[in-house]
């Protein structure tokens, strides 16, 4: 058996370094000596960059682990937390709050998004049924994500004025711009609980490597595993969308990057994917912040720009293996 403790420690240290580095990066150069001075420049660090960095790490970890768990559960390397329909239902909730103009408090939009995610999760559980069947689960996820996607488009097309539709479109692209400690307070507990729930799936995911029937014969409770995934992924993804919009590809890409280092056993991919997901999102956010442009490149777009070529590479590699 592979001992993955050193790799996890290395990833953790790397995450801390990148998070520290992230505090230095931005349009304004704030010397270290002024960070806690209390003047305007120090606010850039304590009220903007610090929460932004922490949120990046939180959602990256949640998305990374969700992706690893989903791929293990569906035994499909192309699975992504997005196909679940939770991210698009959370997005629908957030879009609804923008549409109706309920943005008076910073808590309202995330609250709507979490409500959307909860409804999406409940629908998923309802449609997938009590058997714990993988096919029903996947189809239910696809139905929910296409329905919520259509409703989101409907709201954009019915927007009362161009400003609202502009706001919605911009929000959907996903970003960590102007996040505050309030967002940390919303996302941190939910993602921690979600990841905690997902760690219980490890052994069952390992057994699933041998197929659904063999896993059942080994005592895996498929309906229970389905609940673990719905709740775990729902909390992680719902919380991420609530505070940062849709940030794709993290859940898809990160488990693949980790497998060659930690072995392919699904349970050993979970923690490294969380750590590497956090690293990836914080690093990508540093990149968009340091690009010399007038309006900041949205993080969601940057991730997709980086993710799409990777996805293509993955497909080519799989095709080579099949032939």
First CA to last CA distance, the chain: 30
For residues 8 and 41, which CB has a smaller minimum distance to other proteins in the complex?
Answer: 8
Residue 223 binds other proteins (CB under 8 A): no
CA-to-CA separations, 11 to 55, 143, 172, in angstroms, rounded: 18, 36, 30
Kindly indicate which of the ranges 154-162, 171-179, 211-219, 228-236 contains the residues binding other proteins, using the contact rule CB under 8 A.
211-219
* Contact between 311 and 86 (Cβ < 8 Å): no
Q: Which of 178, 170, 238 is nearest to 26 (CA)?
A: 178
Kindly indicate which of the ranges 34-42, 118-126, 201-209, 239-247 contains the residues binding other proteins, using the contact rule CB under 8 A.
201-209
* Given 146, 217, 308, 317, the residue binding other proteins (CB under 8 A): 217
Residue 256 binds other proteins (CB under 8 A): no
* Contact between 54 and 281 (Cβ < 8 Å): no
Tokens 């959370």 sit on residue: 90
Tokens 């996040």 sit on residue: 179
* Given 256, 259, 289, 298, the residue binding other proteins (CB under 8 A): 259
Kindly indicate which of the ranges 32-40, 54-62, 169-177, 199-207 contains the residues binding other proteins, using the contact rule CB under 8 A.
199-207
Residue 214 binds other proteins (CB under 8 A): yes
* Contact between 60 and 124 (Cβ < 8 Å): no
Q: Which of 271, 286, 277, 234 is nearest to 253 (CA)?
A: 277
Which 262-281 positions form the footprint of other proteins (CB under 8 A)? 263-266
Query: What's the min distance (Å) between Cβ of 259 and other proteins?
Result: 8
The vertex-247 CA angle with 246 and 253, nearest 5°, equals: 140
For residues 176 and 208, which CB has a smaller minimum distance to other proteins in the complex?
Answer: 208
In sign, the C-alpha dihedral spanning 191, 196, 201, 203 is positive
Residue 136 binds other proteins (CB under 8 A): no
Residue 79 binds other proteins (CB under 8 A): no
Residue 103 binds other proteins (CB under 8 A): no
Residues contacting 313, CB < 8 A, separation 6+: none
Kindly indicate which of the ranges 238-246, 257-265, 273-281, 310-318 contains the residues binding other proteins, using the contact rule CB under 8 A.
257-265
Residue 138 binds other proteins (CB under 8 A): no
Residue ranges binding other proteins (CB under 8 A): 1-2, 75, 203, 206-211, 213-214, 216-221, 259, 263-266
């Amino acid at each position: 058996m592979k001992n993955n403790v050193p790799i996890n420690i290395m990833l953790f240290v790397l995450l801390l370094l990148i998070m520290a580095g992230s505090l230095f990066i931005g349009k304004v150069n704030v010397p270290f000596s002024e960070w806690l001075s209390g003047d305007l420049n120090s606010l850039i660090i304590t009220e903007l960059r610090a929460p932004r960095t922490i949120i990046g790490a939180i959602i990256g970890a949640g998305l990374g682990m969700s992706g690893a768990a989903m791929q293990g559960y569906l035994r499909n390397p192309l699975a992504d937390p997005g196909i679940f329909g939770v991210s698009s239902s959370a997005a629908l909730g957030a879009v609804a709050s923008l549409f109706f103009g309920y943005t008076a408090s910073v808590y309202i939009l995330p609250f709507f998004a979490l409500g959307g995610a909860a409804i999406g999760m409940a629908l998923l559980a309802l449609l997938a049924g009590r058997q714990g069947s993988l096919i029903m689960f996947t189809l239910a996820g696809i139905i929910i994500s296409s329905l919520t996607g259509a409703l989101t488009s409907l709201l954009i097309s019915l927007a009362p004025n161009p400003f609202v539709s502009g706001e919605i479109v911009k929000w959907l692209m996903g970003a960590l711009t102007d996040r505050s400690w309030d967002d940390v307070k919303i996302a941190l507990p939910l993602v921690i609980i979600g990841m905690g729930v997902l760690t219980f799936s490890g052994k069952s995911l390992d057994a699933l490597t041998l197929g659904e029937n063999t896993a059942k014969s080994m005592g895996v409770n498929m309906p229970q595993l389905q609940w673990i995934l719905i709740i775990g992924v729902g909390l992680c993804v719902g919380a991420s969308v609530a505070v940062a919009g849709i940030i794709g590809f993290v859940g898809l890409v990160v488990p693949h990057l980790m497998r060659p280092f930690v072995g392919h056993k699904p349970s050993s991919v979970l923690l490294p994917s969380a750590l590497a997901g956090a690293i990836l999102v914080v690093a990508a956010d540093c990149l968009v912040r340091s690009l010399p442009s007038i309006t900041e490149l949205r993080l969601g777009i940057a991730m997709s720009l980086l993710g799409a070529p990777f996805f293509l590479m993955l497909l080519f590699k799989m095709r080579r293996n099949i032939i």
